[in-house]
Amino acid sequence: MRIAICDDEVIHLERLETLVSNCSLWSGAEAEVLRFQRGRRLLEVLQEGEKFEYMFLDIDMPDLSGIEIFNKLPKNSEAAVIFVSSHMRYQPLIDKKYPALLISKTSPQETFDDAMRAYKARIDTLCRFEFIENGREIKIPCNDILYITMSGHHLMINTADGCRNVPARRTLREIEGDFENQGLYCCHKSYLINLKYYFAHDFNFVYLKFAGRSIKIPLSRGKGKGDAVKAAYLNYMTGGADAY
């Protein structure tokens, strides 16, 4: 397990390294903690292809803030992001716009561990589409979903491996609201697409690109004429950067 921590102040960086290294969430696992004092250097490493399971980012840094780093993350980054700060006034912003956790730099180890366990449980739930099929619990990673369509009282969940037909216990709009941060977007009353695979759109269709092939999905007339699809895609790509 590779973990990145980033803070411009050495004293806080050392404190954060102690909290992360001693976290009971990954007790028994081999965890490598890499320290960064400059946000730009961390971003360079990520752009060079380095992968991390977790990243702890100080919000207030002179070159790049933690939120700016988050908004510039490469599209293929799957790291869980945790913001750290001495100023908890950022809590409302984080809760509203970012699928991340905010932890105080002065947290005792027990509080830090409790917050991390709760956060891990939350992101595990949000990153997977769960349903019951023939009495068995099925979990599909959101990243694997290309699009979902509603047919009668059933959902057709289309992935690279095929299609699953499951009873619809929620509307597409409700699913969109639950998984907005995962890029699921209702482009039509009967279709929900994964913006991760968005390629282009016109007045009538939105096009998804996956493994070298293109998929054409109907687009609601109003969304085709306006900037709704473009705005949703940019908001997904930037993590809501316009709010900061």
**105-164: pLDDT as tens digits:** 889 999 999 999 888 877 766 667 777 777 777 778 787 889 999 888 889 999 888 888
Average pLDDT over residues 62-87: 85
Model pLDDT, residue 242: 40
For 85-122, what is each residue's pLDDT tens digit? 887 777 777 766 666 788 888 899 999 999 998 888 77
Residue 244 scores a pLDDT above 70: no
Mean pLDDT confidence for 50-54: 91
61-65 mean pLDDT = 89
188 and 116 fall within a common domain: no
Tell me the pLDDT of the chain averaged across its residues: 85
Q: What percent of the chain has pLDDT over 90?
A: 37
Greatest mean pLDDT among 79-88, 177-186, 233-242: 79-88
Q: What's phi and psi for 238, nearest 5 deg?
A: -100, -5
Asked if 155 and 108 sit in the same domain, the reply is no
205 sits in which H/E element: strand 205-210
* Structural domain span for residue 73: 2-126
Domain count, the chain: 2
- Same domain membership, residue 155 and residue 119: no
The answer to whether residues 12 and 40 belong to one domain is yes
Q: Which of 126, 156, 184 is the last residue of a domain?
A: 126
137 and 107 in a single domain? The answer is no
Could you tell me the strand order of the sheet in which 80-85 lies?
Answer: 32-36, 2-6, 54-58, 80-85, 101-104
- Using CA atoms, how far residue 238 sits from 68, 97, 166, in Å, is 9, 11, 32
Say yes or no: 110 and 199 in one domain.
no
92 and 140 in a single domain? The answer is: no
pLDDT at 243: 33
Same domain, 141 and 115: no
For range 210-228, the mean pLDDT: 85
- Determine what percent of the chain is predicted with pLDDT higher than 70: 92
Task: Give the 3-state secondary structure of residue 64.
Answer: coil
